[in-house]
Structure 1
Amino acid sequence: MTTGVAGSFPTGLGSNPGHPLPLGFVFRSRATKEEKAAVADKAQLTDSKQPRDPQAPKGRPTPKRSEAQSQRRSVANTSLTRKDAAKRQREERRSALERQRQALAGGDERYLPARDKGPVRKFARDTIDARFNVAEFFLPMAVVILVLSLVRVGALQSIALLLWLVVIVLIVLDSILTGFRLKKRLAERFPDQNRKGAVAYALMRSLQMRRLRLPKPQVKRGERP
């Protein structure tokens, strides 16, 4: 049985007699870890306060302009709700229609519909607007002929039928002559441009009354385009 000093632990309990561990080493290691952590925090704080050299690398690649723009657009799009996006689309559509209406009234080429754009279509419009066309008087003559045909008089009904035939023949002849001349002038004026559909476009315009045509006429009667 092992004996010891009174009030002390028995020998061999809670201790390693072969390799005693000094208390100073335990406290020194703990202090060393705390000092290292404090030094690292201080160095990080000092580095964050120092201004970065403009020539020094930023630690990440600089995004391209296209990527930055796409990111900004995506952020802007995600910030809008579905209701706001639909409202914006309606406003844009309304403004586009208003610009188109003003262009049809004033002849602004930038906002005209696709079927009216281009120098070829403009020349075709001006050619029709500068002359009198038999087809543009079709609606007023049709009203007169219709009234005559409703009268219960045989002579007037015969005159109405004759007028129908005369009007149709005059419209056909005038359209053929106008289309032939316009096709020739377009070939001389625009030999290297696409002229497909321009003659039909002009003939359809000639069927409308001058004041109802869109885009609005930009030349006077008798003025050579």
Structure 2
Amino acid sequence: MDLFKKRRAQSEPEPAVVEDQPVVGKGRPTPKRKAAEAKGLRPVVPADRKAAKREAQAARDAAWERQREAMRTGDERYLPARDKGPIKRYVRDYIDARFCIGEVFMPLTLVLMLLMFAFSSWLGNTGIYVMLSVYAVFFLAIADSVLCWLLVRRRLVAAFGAEEVRKAGGIFFYVFMRCMQVRRWRQPSPLVARGDYPS
């Protein structure tokens, strides 16, 4: 019996000595669910409603001021979504570099209407021709806007590719509305001189 015990003892390997290793862990107990949920809650109604209202108003005023300044300087970061992007910038620069008949439509119409009301008794049948001239300028302005759209679309496709132009969307109405505005009243403000077409 002793012989077998001796052999078994020789065949069993000695346990490996494990060196002391530092305990890895977060070192704190896991918080209860109720405590974790309470930590993430925020009050629906702020404690000081007047102060919160003042802060919200100040934030809106600051955002509006940044956007107004961007409309003047062309800063892309704060422009409205409809004016952002290199394609819209290219369209604006192209339209601002050319003369559009739509620029004179509104001032001309206003002057002619005032003349009609002021001198209606003197004009007689001439008032009809004045109205016809207003309509003629209006249709010419529309035709000029369509021509401008065709020209700028061709240049956009050459510069950015047809797919990018299609993704930009709303190019026709963007061109039309800017062509029909007086240059001084356009927003964002023109940043190029007459004849300075974008490359």
Aligned-partner Cα distance in 2 for 1:104–1:91: 20
Kindly indicate whether residue 27 of structure 2 is the aligned counterpart of residue 58 of structure 1: yes
Q: Which amino acid aligns with 1:58?
A: G
Unmatched 5+ stretches in structure 1: 1-52
| Contact preservation (8 Å) 2:97, 2:193 | yes
Number of matched pairs: 165
Q: SS of the counterpart of 2:168?
A: coil
Shift of 1:148: 3.7
- Pair 131,54 (structure 1): closer, same or farther in 2 beyond 3 Å: farther
- Which residues in structure 2 correspond to 1:42-191 (within 5 Å)? 58-60=27-29, 71=39, 81-83=47-49, 84-150=51-117, 151=119, 152=121, 153-154=123-124, 156-191=126-161
Once the 2 structures are TM-superposed, how far is the Cα of residue 82 of structure 1 from its aligned partner? 4.1
Taking every aligned residue pair, what percent have the same amino acid on both sides?
A: 35
* Compared CA separation, residues 220 and 54, structure 1 to 2 (3 A): farther
Which of the two has higher C-alpha Rg? 1
Summarize the Cα distance change of 1:222–1:169 in structure 2 as closer, same or farther, 3 Å threshold: same
Q: Which amino acid aligns with 2:129?
A: I
Q: Does 1:221 align with 2:191?
A: no
- Where relative contact order (Cα < 8 A, 6+ residues apart) is larger, the structure is 2
Q: How many angstroms does 1:142 deviate by? A: 0.3
In 1, the alpha carbon distance for the partners of 2:180 and 2:68 equals 21
What is the root-mean-square deviation of aligned Cα atoms in Å? Answer: 2.8
- Are the counterparts in 2 of residues 127 and 182 from structure 1 also a CA contact under 8 Å? yes
- CA distance in 1 between counterparts of 2:79 and 2:23 reads 51
Q: Distance in 2 between matches of 1:123 and 1:215?
A: 12
Structure 2: 5+ residue runs without aligned partners? Answer: 1-21
1:174 partner letter: D
> Which range is displaced more, 148-157 or 206-215?
148-157
1:201 maps to amino acid: Y
Give the 3 Å change call, closer, same or farther, for CA 54–210 of structure 1 in structure 2.
farther
